[in-house]
């Protein structure tokens, strides 16, 4: 191997040991730079006789080109390696499981409320909504439960700031205030169209029947496996000229049998007391078969609307009469799905809730 070949081989070997592009440029200077090997060799030409200069010069040039080729090859190799490393680092593993976007669903109690609205809707009931922070008047007094009435202690009420002594604000303990709120609006609308109605008197003219349900959240100071401080109720009210207790029995029986998809369901109207209905009844249901068979399960309070309540609606109780009920959609949901702890509905545990999707 002549001296030029040796230089080329040394350069190649030196380039190959380098792994960083900046370092490669330093090594390049040792061979191709101003004071590098090739420049030194070129300087040596001056001492040669003229006839040798030409062939030696050409040989040095060849060596230079070989070194440049080796340099470029190494540059390319380093750039390729860098690109490979980068691609590797940014690589997508298409075999990894994707990030799931969960499919949402309605809460089981919402499913029940929708069901209740559909069933009563098919019987001509409209749906009304009202405030959860209620006044003493709508929650108690207008419902024939005056101050100091012992029935008030049946409800463990959450009182909230902002009311006065005689009209405190509270979290509604039931949806019954909606009986008054809705009926008052209904009566106002229709008595205005009646020329015979005298301002300040109870309305005894003609009007379309009041037929409404009012679902929503209600609150009581109470908490265990079957009671939650926040729970749901759905009020029902039907007031007309000829609405009797038998209509209540028919409507509610039909509702329960449709809700539970069971025509053999048995209902019991057990005498009870509510200040705003007279007579009053607690409604119990019994499944003919299944895990709950044979047990009476309370699902609602009900009764014929008390004349004092009819008056507070602005109606003349000599002409208007009706029934009301208040049921517990949470309870209905527990019975429908066989859930035995009410708190599961409000814990927000996805593992529980996803089962109802």
Q: Using CB under 6 A as the criterion, which residues of the chain lie in contact with ligand PHE when the complex forms? A: 174, 176, 274, 277, 280, 301-303, 324-326
Give least dist CB 175 to ligand PHE, A.
Answer: 7
Give, for 240, the enclosing helix (H) or strand (E): strand 230-240
Encoding tokens for residue 233?
Answer: 């109720």
Q: Kindly tell me which of 234 and 334 has the beta carbon lying closer to ligand PHE.
A: 234
Give least dist CB 163 to ligand PHE, A.
Answer: 21
Q: Kindly tell me which of 112 and 302 has the beta carbon lying closer to ligand PHE.
A: 302
Encoding tokens for residue 264?
Answer: 């053999």
Give least dist CB 178 to ligand PHE, A.
Answer: 10
Give least dist CB 125 to ligand PHE, A.
Answer: 14
Q: Kindly tell me which of 108 and 236 has the beta carbon lying closer to ligand PHE.
A: 236
Give least dist CB 193 to ligand PHE, A.
Answer: 29
Q: Could you tell me which of 13, 306, 319, 255 has the C-alpha nearest to residue 122?
A: 255
Give, for 331, the enclosing helix (H) or strand (E): helix 329-337
Q: Kindly tell me which of 215 and 303 has the beta carbon lying closer to ligand PHE.
A: 303
Residues contacting residue 269 through CB under 8 Å, at least 6 positions apart: 249, 281, 282, 283, 302
Give least dist CB 199 to ligand PHE, A.
Answer: 30
CA 252/CA 123 separation, integer angstroms: 11
CB 116 within 8 A of CB 329: yes
Which residue in the block uniquely carries the two structure tokens 């699902």?
A: 299
Residue sitting closest to ligand PHE (CB): 326
Q: Kindly tell me which of 64 and 172 has the beta carbon lying closer to ligand PHE.
A: 172
Encoding tokens for residue 212?
Answer: 């409404």
Q: Kindly tell me which of 141 and 176 has the beta carbon lying closer to ligand PHE.
A: 176
Q: Kindly tell me which of 36 and 236 has the beta carbon lying closer to ligand PHE.
A: 236
Backbone angles phi, psi at 180, to 5 degrees: -70, -50
Give least dist CB 269 to ligand PHE, A.
Answer: 12
CB 241 within 8 A of CB 321: yes
73-94 exposure pattern, b = at least 16 Cβ within 10 A, e = fewer:
ebeeebeeeeeeeeeeeeeeee
CA 241/CA 236 separation, integer angstroms: 17
What is the separation of C-alpha 69 from the centre of its chain, rounded to a whole number of angstroms? 66
């Amino acid at each position: 191997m002549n001296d030029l070949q040796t230089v080329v081989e040394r350069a190649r070997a030196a380039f190959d040991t380098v792994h960083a592009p900046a370092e490669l440029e330093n090594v390049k200077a040792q061979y191709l730079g101003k004071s590098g090997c090739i420049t030194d060799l070129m300087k040596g030409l001056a001492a040669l006789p003229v006839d040798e200069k030409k062939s030696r010069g050409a040989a040095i040039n060849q060596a230079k080109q070989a070194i440049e080729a080796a340099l470029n090859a190494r540059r390319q190799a380093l750039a390729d390696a860098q690109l490979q490393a980068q691609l590797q680092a940014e690589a997508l593993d298409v075999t990894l499981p994707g990030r799931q976007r969960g499919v949402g669903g309605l809460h089981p109690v919402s499913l029940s409320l929708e069901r209740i609205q559909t069933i009563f809707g098919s019987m001509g009931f409209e749906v009304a909504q009202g405030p959860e922070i209620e006044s003493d008047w709508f929650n108690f007094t207008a419902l024939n439960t005056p101050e100091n009435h012992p029935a008030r202690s049946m409800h463990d009420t959450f009182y909230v700031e902002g009311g006065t002594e005689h009209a405190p604000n509270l979290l509604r303990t039931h949806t019954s205030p909606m009986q008054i709120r809705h009926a008052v609006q209904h009566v106002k609308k229709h008595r205005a169209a009646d020329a015979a109605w005298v301002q300040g008197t109870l309305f005894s003219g003609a009007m379309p029947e009041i037929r409404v349900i009012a679902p929503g959240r209600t609150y009581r100071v109470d908490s265990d496996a079957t009671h939650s401080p926040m729970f749901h109720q759905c009020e029902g009210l039907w007031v007309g000229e000829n609405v009797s207790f038998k209509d209540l029995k028919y409507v509610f029986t039909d509702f329960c049998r449709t809700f539970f998809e069971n025509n053999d369901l048995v209902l019991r109207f057990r005498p009870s007391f509510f200040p705003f209905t007279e007579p009053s009844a607690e409604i119990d249901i019994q499944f003919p078969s299944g895990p709950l068979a044979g047990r009476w399960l309370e699902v609602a309070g009900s009764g014929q609307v008390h004349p004092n309540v009819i008056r507070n609606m602005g109606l003349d109780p000599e002409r208007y009469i009706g029934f009301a009920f208040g049921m517990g959609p949470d309870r209905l949901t527990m019975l429908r799905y066989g859930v035995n702890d009410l708190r599961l509905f409000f814990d927000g545990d996805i593992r529980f809730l996803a089962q109802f999707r």
